[in-house]
Structure 1
Amino acid sequence: MKRSQYTKEFSYNLKLAYPVILGMLGHTLIGIVDNFMVGSLGSTELAAVSLGNSFIFIGLSLGIGFSTAITPLTAEADAEKNDKKIRSTFHHGLLLCTILGVTLFILTVLSKPIMYLMHQPTAVADMAAPYIDWVAFSLIPVIMYQGYKQFADGLSQTKYSMYAIFMANVVHIFFNYVLIYGIWIFPKLGILGAALGTVISRIMMVVFMHFLLRKNAVFKRYFKNFSFKEIRKSMLKKIINLGFPSAMQMLFEVALFTMAIWLSGSLGKNSQAANQIALILSSTTFMIAMGLNVTAMIRVSYAKGLNDYKNLITIARSIFLLTIILETFFAITFVALHNYLPHLFLNMDDVTQSLDNTEILLIASKLLLVAAVFQISDGMQVVVLGALRGLQDVKIPMYITFVAYWLIGFPISFYLGKYTDFKATGIWIGLLAGLTAAALFLYIRFARLTKKLVLENQKDLS
């Protein structure tokens, strides 16, 4: 197939993806703002936020992964022009996201003792504990927001979540600033101020999203007739059957990165702080791939609803090619700026932190070189996963991601990090191995599955 057949899809893919990308970057910006403002307080505070967020990331990954089930079901119903099915998917999905948010909040708070079992620095763990209490509560509104977002994405209306999260970021920056540093009438709360800023902004995020959709002509009709009497066990089961494996897929990856935070913490607070800097930077570029992941879900689901499998393959491959091009650019950027980017997260004027800062900069610059290499693998695995979710193929990919991250990636991270001189860099080499294995195995799964679907469709038509 000619390359032009793929590249002609780029403009529409980017049109769908850019609001999702900006929205995802808005999510990441909340973490960046926390780290930027807390980083000026000291390396212990930065490490505490890193450790605390590692627990939140696990809950968030489960919530986001589960909510992705709403998008393919909505997009498929949209292709079928079935308004009743669209409304049912939205109502059942939002209910399940709310229940999941409350459950994850409780489980996250109860999991705090794990910090002390993982041999984290005591000062860091003590500071992280109250931070976790507050930020864990924000899982309730943020997972509810995901229910709204995935529904809107399924109807190819990707810009509304971007608007909601941008407004939430304005709220977040204001409350972070006044509560961390004690500006005007507000108390000086340090990292607890960062936690409260996150909670307030995430509550406002779901409020903004609700009103943006409810007042819009496209969505208004889907908000009507919400009643618990209309809740059906069959629809709940359908969303759970798609959502649970999707949640596990995301959990396996995020848990691997969380383990990297914990392993880095066992090497010392400076390794943990350096890990956090590299993680924030690589997470920022990963949001581009996450935007294309949603685009793949939407477009593949829609083509599936039309039974147009040949065009489905062309669309998916165009998204894969676009991802490779963009992630290669980011890889080159990381290599070129690996000695400069870590400076953005540290207070270089604080003489008392100079020794710590020097070590953090040295470690972080090496981690960014490894992060540069895995840009392409990380981008590819997530967009192929999006295409597979669009096909509602989630169980086999769940097993693939477990093998790639926990039977390949983690043992390499653990061995190189704990038992060799690579230390923090070795941990990230393990991440690279896991992501590369996932990208390869998932693509093989997609190629085989779509070939089978095309053949079956041809038989049905003949």
Structure 2
Amino acid sequence: MNLEKYTSEFKNNLKLATPVMIGSLGHLLVGLIDDIMVGRLGPVELAATSLGNSIVFIALSIGIGFSFAITPLLAESDSEGDENKGRLIFQHGLLLTTIMGVVMFVFLFFLKPILYHLNQPEEVVVLAIPYYEIIAFSMIPLMIFQGFKQFTDGLSQTKYAMYATIVANIINVVLNFALIYGLWIFPRLELVGAAIGTLISRVAMVFFIYIVLANKEKFKPYLIRLKFNEIKKEVLKKIVNLGFPTALQMLFEVGLFAASVLLAGTYGAFSQAANQIALKLASTTFMIAVGIGVAATVRVGNQKGLKNYVELRRIAFSNFILVFFMMSMFSVGFLLLKDILPLAFTDNLEVIQIASSLLIVAALFQLSDGIQAVVLGGLRGLQDVNIPSLLTFMAYWVIGFPVCYYLGTILKMESLGIWIGLLTALTSSAVMLFFRFNYLTNKLIHKNNGTT
């Protein structure tokens, strides 16, 4: 294999991927800062935000997964040079993500009573409710932003969403300091203050990206508002047909990791704390794979629009090799620093010991996790989502979760058993999705050669 024909694409891949990585890492960083600031109020307050966010995060993953449908469709229309087609996709997509945000808010609002039935301390639930209500409402501006973000990603302009995310994060941190603790003229609102800070920052994010795009000539044709008589059933259907299976893919993966948290909690506080530390670290490195996955979606979508399937396959494989190299470095880092990294979170020796053992497994699944994320991005670029949804369900819930439960509970390996199950799930997903991508691209090349 001539490796240079793939590595020569690394620069182009990273140009698209880096802003997405920075934006995603920015969200994680602010989440960490939120935890630290709320944590200073006390353990009950920290538990309340964790409880509220746990349910919102599942809904959020579904919404974001749905919005991913916009990117490959825009990438395809962009490579075809069809601005009107791109405008219709964007405007219909924005309409759907806005509706999705409202539906998510209503769903989360009516789901609120479930907080009383999760075996949580009463004082935690009482604090969580007002926080949860405001965070649920913030899903509306967040999903509107997702519509704009996936639009700009599809046009290979990933930097604008990054700028909006950075500005929103700064606003969020400043407002949190002011509203949680009551600095200067601001009242001390504690958890409610943290929620209000998040809501305002998400509204600001929407205004920022709209103002930036409205002042760029490239985007003006796309921002012409959709008239009622321009709403086309077939465009809505195309986005929904791509978005719904993608949302399921996100739900299957996020659901497994949420189940792992609940399962670890049954083994005791130390096991759950170690599980959270390892998950936080693994989530951070996963953001790198997310960025490369977006690059794969956009570039594969471009080549699909050009019907250049040989180049499509070469570019896709360049992204697969890039993520393999980068996640390999994280694997080595986790192995070398497995006893040091947990010290950033706790000084409890038992928790550190458990977390250290989990990071060994996390080092192994860095490769699987990265590859499955980027191959999924490539498949989205091909607009192939139904079979991948079935494959991810099989990997996470038919294979992965039973292994987590059997090793963790039946064989009493506890958190280590859960993480071996996660490794099994991610590896199964990576292998099956790769074979799917390989099969489809070979089929497209042979079919195209037969018609030329």
Q: TM-score range by the shorter chain?
A: over 0.9
- Is contact 1:32–1:280 with CA below 8 Å preserved after alignment? no
Change (3 A) 1:176 1:13: same
* Residue 152 (structure 1) shift: 0.5
Alignment map for 1:31-42 (pairs within 5 Å): 31-42=31-42
Match of 1:352 in 2: none
**Structure 2 residue 162 is matched with structure 1 residue 191:** no
Q: Which residue in 2 is equivalent to 1:206? A: 206
Using structure 1 for the length normalisation, give the TM-score: 0.92
Deviations 1:129-168 (A, max 9, x none): 3332221222111111111011101111110000000000
Q: Is the 8 A contact 1:75 1:298 kept in 2?
A: yes
In structure 2, what is the equivalent of residue 369 of structure 1? 360
Aligned partners of 1:97 and 1:147 also within 8 Å: yes
Report which stretch shifted further, 10-19 or 173-182: 173-182
Distance 1:49 1:288 in 2: 26
Gaps of 5+ in 2: none
The CA deviation at 1:230 is: 1.5
2:451 is the alignment partner of 1:457: no
Q: 2:89 is aligned with what amino acid?
A: T
- Counterpart contact for 2:335–2:360, Cα < 8 Å: yes
Are the structure 2 counterparts of residues 181 and 426 from structure 1 closer, same or farther at C-alpha, using a change threshold of 3 Å? farther
Aligned to 2:285: 285
Which amino acid in 2 is paired with 1:76?
E
1:395 and 2:368 correspond: no
Structure 1 residue 239 displacement after superposition: 0.5
Q: Does 1:72 align with 2:72?
A: yes
**Structure 1 residue matching 2:188: 3-state secondary structure:** coil
- Which amino acid in structure 2 is aligned with residue 340 of structure 1? I
Contact 1:47 1:272 in 2 (8 A): no
- 1:241-287 CA distances to partner (integer Å, 9 max, x unpaired)? 11111111111111111112222333444444433332222111111
- Report the AA paired with residue 149 of structure 2: K
2:304 maps to what in 1?
A: 304
After the TM superposition, which of the residue ranges 43-52 and 59-68 deviates more from structure 2? 43-52
Distance 1:14 1:204, change over 3 A: same
Moved more, 183-192 or 448-457: 183-192
The partner residue of 1:433 within 416, 424, 428 is 424
Look up the SS of the partner of 1:219 in the other structure. coil
- Once residues 90 and 298 of structure 1 are traced to their aligned partners in structure 2, the CA distance between those partners, rounded to angstroms, is 15
Pair 1:430–1:126, CA change in 2 (3 A) = farther
Counterpart of 1:343 in structure 2 is 343
Q: Tell me the amino acid that sits aligned with residue 367 of structure 1.
A: L
Per-residue CA distance 1:218-244 (angstroms, 9 max, x = gap): 111211143233111111011001111
The question of 1:163 aligning with 2:154 is answered no
| CA drift at 1:96 | 0.1
CA contact (8 A) 1:19 1:158 kept: yes
TM-score under structure 2 normalisation?
A: 0.94
Pair 313,232 (structure 1): closer, same or farther in 2 beyond 3 Å: same
Map 1:40-439 → 2, pairs under 5 A: 40-120=40-120, 124-345=124-345, 357-439=348-430
The 8 Å contact of residues 261 and 272 in structure 1, kept in 2 or not, is answered as yes
Compute the displacement of 1:433 (Å): 1.3
Post-superposition Cα deviations, 1:399-452, rounded to whole Å, max 9, x if no partner, equal: 000010111111222333334432223222222211111001000100111111
Relative distance call for 1:48 and 1:418 in structure 2 (3 A) is farther
**Structure 1 residues 407, 124: CA separation in 2 closer, same or farther (over 3 Å shift)?**
farther
Q: Which amino acid in the other structure matches residue 266 of structure 1?
A: T
Q: Which amino acid aligns with 2:316?
A: A
Change (3 A) 1:136 1:416: farther
**Counterpart of 1:107 in structure 2: which amino acid?**
F
Change (3 A) 1:331 1:112: farther
Change (3 A) 1:287 1:308: same
Letter in 2 for 1:79: S
Q: Deviations over 1:34-82 (max 9, x none)?
A: 2232334444444443332221221111111111111111110011111
Q: Which amino acid aligns with 1:50?
A: S
Q: Which moved more, 1:414-423 or 1:253-262?
A: 414-423
With over 3 angstroms needed to count, the CA separation of the structure-2 counterparts of 1:369 and 1:188, relative to structure 1, is: farther
| Structure 2 contact 91–225 (Cα < 8 Å) conserved | no
The alignment-based identity, stated in percent, is 54
Q: Residues of 2 paired with 1:308 and 1:111: CA distance?
A: 47
Task: Show the counterpart of 1:445.
Answer: 436
Give yes or no for contact 1:130–1:192 (8 Å, CA) kept in 2: yes
Decide which moves more: 17-26 or 174-183: 174-183
**Whole-angstrom distance in 1 between the partners of 2:126 and 2:406:** 28
Conservation of the 8 A alpha-carbon contact between 1:152 and 1:160 = yes
3-state SS of 1:18 partner: helix
1:83-129 alpha-carbon deviations (Å, 9 max, x no partner): 11010011000000000011112212333444454445555445433
Partner AA of 2:359 in structure 1: L
Number of aligned positions between the proteins: 452
Of residues 40-49 and 50-59 in structure 1, the stretch that sits farther from structure 2 once superposed is 40-49
Instruction: Note if contact 2:88-2:226 (Cα within 8 Å) is conserved in structure 1.
Output: no
Please report how far the alpha carbon of residue 24 of structure 1 lies from its aligned counterpart in structure 2 after TM superposition: 1.3
User: Aligned in 2, Cα 1:51/1:273: closer, same or farther, shift over 3 Å?
Assistant: farther
